[in-house]
Structure 1
Amino acid sequence: MAADTLPLAEYLIARLQQLGVKTMFQVPGDFSMGFLDICDDSGLRLVGNCNELNASYAADGYARVLQQDTSAHGHEGARLAVLCTTFGVGELSALNGIAGSYSERLPVLHIVGMPGVASQEKHAILHHTLGDGNFDTFAEMSSHVSCATALLARHKGDPQKLADEVDRVLSTCVGEARPGYLGLPTDLLHVPVDKALLERPLALAHASNDAAREQACLEAISKAVAAVKEPIVVIDACTIRHGAVREALQLVDDSGLSFVATPMGKSALPEDHPSFAGIYLGPNGKGHEKLHKKVEGADLYLFIGALRSDFNTASSFTEFTRQADTIEFHSDRTQVFDQHFDGIGMKELLPKVAALLAESKKDRTPNELHPRNELPSREAEGEAAGPNGDVISQAWLWQRIGSVFEEGDQIIAETGTSSFGLLDTTLPGGLTRFHSQVLWGSIGYATAATLGVAFAASEEGLGRVHCFTGDGSFQLTAQELSTMIRYGLAPVVWALRNDGYEIERQIQGPERSYNNISPWDHEALLKALYAPSAPSSAGGAEEAERKSHAKDVKNVTMPQYHAVRTKDELNALLDGKLGKEGLQLVEIFMRRGDAPQALIGQAEATSKLNA
């Protein structure tokens, strides 16, 4: 290896480190181990997951934290997450999680360790293949959920092209905020690449707005604003995904306008901001009549980063805001009513719109709807609270739980009662973030994603991680708690014990057997997942294994289990009995059939749509 070159694998790692990547999620396989060896020697932290699906969920969670906080608060962190699997069996196991990241606009680089070029060219019948000699099949599957795909075997004799392909996939992945796929053959790891190529800047952002076209767009917006009296700002997911949080906050501050968020936009802007009016749930927002009157009475909607999915718009889709009264801001285009300005991105445009709106700030109606966490009346809780009112109801839980959150905490919720219930919880400060897979909605996602959220929160110096999941969802990925314990992470996992798949029961089949689950002893499970005194391998390898294990297991604290059956027990836990160190598993016993009002409304809409 010449002094002015470095191996291709090290080139890739150097690019990742330039982007601030500190952690890579992985499950080893023989086609990826050579690359993992080099990663291990580079100082990149390799997190070993229980399976590839969990690893992809963890990478998704990692990307969410760094996407939000990097854009909003100037943290120096990664702009993407990295996942490494082996060819075939490993990558297909991860594909569901990758599809979720594609659906929800998250930059996850999927590095797939592939058989060597020589084997591919011979069409060898290798293990982990379909036995047909075709080594492109799985990459073709992934291409449908990747914004950029590169099979490096196709450029084996061209080191410059190999580096170009790495850069292309990374740039596209970050710029489009979607997964990228990199097929890395075992026999290309050490191909020498010119070191000077690392000095080339990666093209990570969209092209700048065309000045003349942007001016025309601003004139259209100015005309629209001048003709209305009660505009309102709507914050959605792509505000976060495309790094426009700071610009959106500036627009709210400069304009004095009230803003609401969609479920996918929750916590993008601070929920203790005086202009925050709440989470807009369309027809599902029963109990929030004043909020809905304000939103539906607006005569102009400044819709930032819109993503009009059913659970995000209460199945209202385009009717969520009236298109004739809506200005939509996206990463690569702007729409003013029925006028389309392609290539005019919100990151550059929003500060200019903020300046325009600042001119008429004094004429705006002040916001009087700032939400607070207030416990419901006994009447509002209804039968869910039990005859003595001491049973923890959904209506009570999500208001009470808000008191435990502190500035900088990261809250991740499983799709279902947790994600819908937390929409009513007002979060503190500008660094607290809410994460939920609202669009893709893969059951079991939250627990495994908590691992990635916890690593990113630790790297960014953020607060504690809280995961909320149901007992049904928890069973799909519960084994990843062992990984959290192994690496000394200390999230609080709140497991809602309501005897099965409550979100599915709300949609259909409340008494059907397919919505039932086998009950688990969660206290015993936690003990099984952490067994420091378990016997090691026999013979002379025992000491080597112990030392290897100690290398990545540091500051492991015994996890704690808490069972909570009444309001008094939960109050005592929240008021000081919840452990500060180590993983905490809190099992909350709730009534089967009880659900947040927003979930009940969405379930009814989904049931009608399915019919």
Structure 2
Amino acid sequence: MPEQITLGRYLFEKIKEAGVHSIFGVPGDFNLALLDHVKEVEGIRWVGNANELNAGYEADGYSRVNGFACLVTTFGVGELSAVNAVAGAYAEHIPLIHVVGMPSISAEKQKLLLHHTLGDSRFDDFTAMSQKISIKLKVITEFDDAPKVINDLIETAILTKRPVYLGFPSNFSEALIPASDLTKYKLKLSLPPNNEESENEFVENVIQLMEKAKNPVILVDACASRHAVIEQVEEVARLTKFPVFTTPMGKGSFNEDNSEYYGMYIGALSAPDVKEIVESTDCIISIGGLLSDFNTGSFSYSYATTNVVEFHSNYCKFKRANYEDLQMKGALDNLISKLSKVSLSYQPKLSPPKSKYEYQTAKTCPEGPLIQEYMWKRVSYFLNEGDVVVTETGTSSFGILTTTFPKHVKAISQVLWGSIGFSLPAAVGANFAVDDFKKLNSSYPERRVILFIGDGSLQLTVQAISDACRWNIKPYIFILNNKGYTIEKLIHGPHESYNNIQPWKHDAILNLFADKVEYENLKVSTNEELDELFKNEKFNVPDKIRVIELMLDEFDAPSKLRLQAELSDKINSA
């Protein structure tokens, strides 16, 4: 290491220190000098995407598996193309750093009428647009302070699980700083401790409520996985034996093979036996709740008890009392340390709901055309422990709710932000993370990345397949061909032209993108064909990129999607 390094290299060294080994983005003249320094950092690759929106979605998917991601775009035209992806990351608690190559400081001071501007000689138009979708936004103005700014942004993103924005002027990439700054300014990635008095008071209240509970439940939602408390949740369940339910966004946040797992609660959309158990409870322990419409059956939660405890990333709640700045990770650790010394009155007496085992009906393969009722349950037997399952907003994200996951399956779906087209690049990004783990540790277990996406959504972001082929990334891409936007047709306008799409020859996609990489095109039209495909040993090995076209009836849809569509139409019309 030389005595001095460039600020550009410092940035990418710190990105690597934070655990990132693949960087997503698109080159542009204001970030080119910065990108010169990626190759100086061993173990980092520049992915190079077809467009900025896909780069943002891939960074999102990468972060959901890896824990952090980096996106690099250019000023104005580049960063605005990525805004939708960054906004989705903000809404769904995904940590990433969006690095924007900006015009030089001198150009800004002279108010030059540069390309990529709005022609108003202002250089803060776009940072103002990103302010609302970034937990913190900084533009480097003095290179002496730059290392601290870079560290602060990375730390903030990782600890809050939200995107941050770094404006990097083009003339600062070559600025020299002491190489010793790399060790002098180490990243601090541990959460600060909670206020001890507040944490103890909250935990004592929770324990007292638990001691009295006769019919308690634990409800696990998205932020349990986003903020890395899955292990704590399983330990609380083990110590209390309370029945555990997840939400749609919480799927994969609790081991579905666990004896304490009882199913999925979605308000009015829940299975009747699940609905009865949850809504008759006298104590709810809610962990990581995100109460959006698609996550709650359009706000149809209907439990009567006021004995509700909420654990969140930056506050906790006991009944009506808020404990501000009390982080759930510390509170759960405290609770676990005391539960072993507590005598609970609750005695497990519930039999697991029948709906928990509905997937077993897929053991018998019905004859005839492929139908979703069979397909999603059959997927339960195709999945392996540790797989990453990505589903698209719409048919796929509702269908996967009836699939039972093996242990440690990672579920990725954009239930809250719900931007169609997200899932394909997110799956590619997730596969980059899996690939990076494998390169760093040859004994890392084999993990498949499996995507289910509709034919309509595919058309928004199909270039992400090119990104995968460029680096020989090998996801399974299941395309649900149901002739357009089925979820929209179910909500409103079933026969309107605006819900239709131009049909594509899906078996030609890999022929177009896959130059010099091994690939496979498949088509499934019947339940028997799906069953045989999933039984095929060669197909189960992720040794090539695959596109599998699933031929479905235009209006065939999961029952939960039909019910949600009815509720959404009523809300939209109110």
Shared fold (TM-score, shorter chain, > 0.5): yes
How many angstroms does 1:525 deviate by? 2.2
Residue 568 of structure 2: aligned partner = 606
Q: Is the 8 A contact 2:362 2:378 kept in 1?
A: no
Classify the secondary structure of the residue corresponding to 2:306. helix
Which whole-Å CA distance do the structure 1 matches of 2:244 and 2:571 have between them? 29
Structure 1 residue identity aligned to 2:257: D
Q: Are residues 1:360 and 2:343 paired?
A: yes
Residue 340 of structure 1: aligned partner = 322
Which is further off, 238-247 or 94-103? 238-247
Q: Are residues 1:416 and 2:416 paired?
A: no
Q: Is the 8 A contact 2:280 2:303 kept in 1?
A: no
| Aligned residue among 82, 87, 92 for 1:94 | 82
Residue 528 of structure 1: aligned partner = 512
Which whole-Å CA distance do the structure 2 matches of 1:201 and 1:229 have between them? 49
Q: Is the 8 A contact 2:244 2:260 kept in 1?
A: yes
Higher helix share: 1
Residue 176 of structure 1: aligned partner = 160
Residue 445 of structure 1: aligned partner = 422
- The gaps in structure 1 that reach 5 residues or longer are 68-79, 533-555
Classify the secondary structure of the residue corresponding to 1:303. strand
Q: Is the 8 A contact 2:534 2:540 kept in 1?
A: no
Residue 292 of structure 1: aligned partner = 275
Residue 301 of structure 1: aligned partner = 284
Which whole-Å CA distance do the structure 1 matches of 2:401 and 2:236 have between them? 23
How many angstroms does 1:411 deviate by? 0.2
Q: Deviations over 1:487-517 (max 9, x none)?
A: 1111110000101001111111111110001
Structure 1 residue identity aligned to 2:195: D
Which whole-Å CA distance do the structure 1 matches of 2:119 and 2:524 have between them? 53
Correspondences of 1:224-373 after superposition (within 5 Å): 224-285=209-270, 288-316=271-299, 319=301, 324-358=306-340, 359-360=342-343, 363-366=346-349, 368-369=351-352, 371-372=356-357, 373=359
Classify the secondary structure of the residue corresponding to 2:451. strand
Q: Is the 8 A contact 2:434 2:447 kept in 1?
A: yes
Classify the secondary structure of the residue corresponding to 1:264. coil
Classify the secondary structure of the residue corresponding to 2:236. helix
Alignment CA distance shift 1:519-1:105 (3 Å): same
Task: Calculate the aligned-residue CA RMSD, in Å.
Answer: 2.0
Q: Is the 8 A contact 1:409 1:464 kept in 2?
A: yes
Q: Deviations over 1:4-37 (max 9, x none)?
A: 4322111111211211111101111111111111
Residue 130 of structure 1: aligned partner = 118
Correspondences of 1:23-34 after superposition (within 5 Å): 23-34=22-33
Correspondences of 1:354-393 after superposition (within 5 Å): 354-358=336-340, 359-360=342-343, 363-366=346-349, 368-369=351-352, 371-372=356-357, 373-375=359-361, 389-393=367-371
Which whole-Å CA distance do the structure 1 matches of 2:23 and 2:132 have between them? 23
Q: Is the 8 A contact 1:256 1:366 kept in 2?
A: no
Structure 2 residue identity aligned to 1:515: N
Structure 2 residue identity aligned to 1:148: K
When normalised by structure 1's length, the TM-score is 0.88
Q: Is the 8 A contact 1:206 1:332 kept in 2?
A: no
Residue 144 of structure 1: aligned partner = 132
Q: Is the 8 A contact 2:20 2:66 kept in 1?
A: no
Q: Deviations over 1:47-82 (max 9, x none)?
A: 011110000000000111123xxxxxxxxxxxx100
Residue 552 of structure 2: aligned partner = 590
Which is further off, 49-58 or 569-578? 569-578
Classify the secondary structure of the residue corresponding to 2:463. helix
| Aligned residue among 433, 440, 448 for 1:456 | 433
Q: Is the 8 A contact 2:147 2:185 kept in 1?
A: no
Q: Is the 8 A contact 2:215 2:346 kept in 1?
A: no
Which whole-Å CA distance do the structure 2 matches of 1:501 and 1:29 have between them? 34
Q: Deviations over 1:512-562 (max 9, x none)?
A: 110001111111222112244xxxxxxxxxxxxxxxxxxxxxxx32x1110
Residue 551 of structure 1: aligned partner = none
Residue 553 of structure 1: aligned partner = none
Q: Is the 8 A contact 1:26 1:85 kept in 2?
A: yes
Q: Deviations over 1:319-373 (max 9, x none)?
A: 4655722100012211010111112211111133234444335743155327232
How many angstroms does 1:94 deviate by? 0.6
Which whole-Å CA distance do the structure 2 matches of 1:413 and 1:489 have between them? 18
Question: Share of identical aligned residues, percent?
Answer: 35
How many angstroms does 1:284 deviate by? 1.0
Structure 2 residue identity aligned to 1:92: L
Residue 573 of structure 1: aligned partner = 533
How many angstroms does 1:222 deviate by? 2.3
Aligned length: 558
Which whole-Å CA distance do the structure 2 matches of 1:231 and 1:97 have between them? 38
Residue 190 of structure 1: aligned partner = 174
Which whole-Å CA distance do the structure 1 matches of 2:175 and 2:72 have between them? 20
Which whole-Å CA distance do the structure 1 matches of 2:502 and 2:319 have between them? 52
Residue 406 of structure 1: aligned partner = 384
How many angstroms does 1:470 deviate by? 0.5
How many angstroms does 1:593 deviate by? 1.1
Alignment CA distance shift 1:405-1:170 (3 Å): same
Which whole-Å CA distance do the structure 1 matches of 2:2 and 2:47 have between them? 31
Classify the secondary structure of the residue corresponding to 1:48. coil
Structure 2 residue identity aligned to 1:30: D
Classify the secondary structure of the residue corresponding to 1:24. strand
Which is further off, 338-347 or 454-463? 454-463
Residue 57 of structure 1: aligned partner = 57
Q: Are residues 1:45 and 2:45 paired?
A: yes
How many angstroms does 1:578 deviate by? 2.4
Residue 563 of structure 1: aligned partner = 523
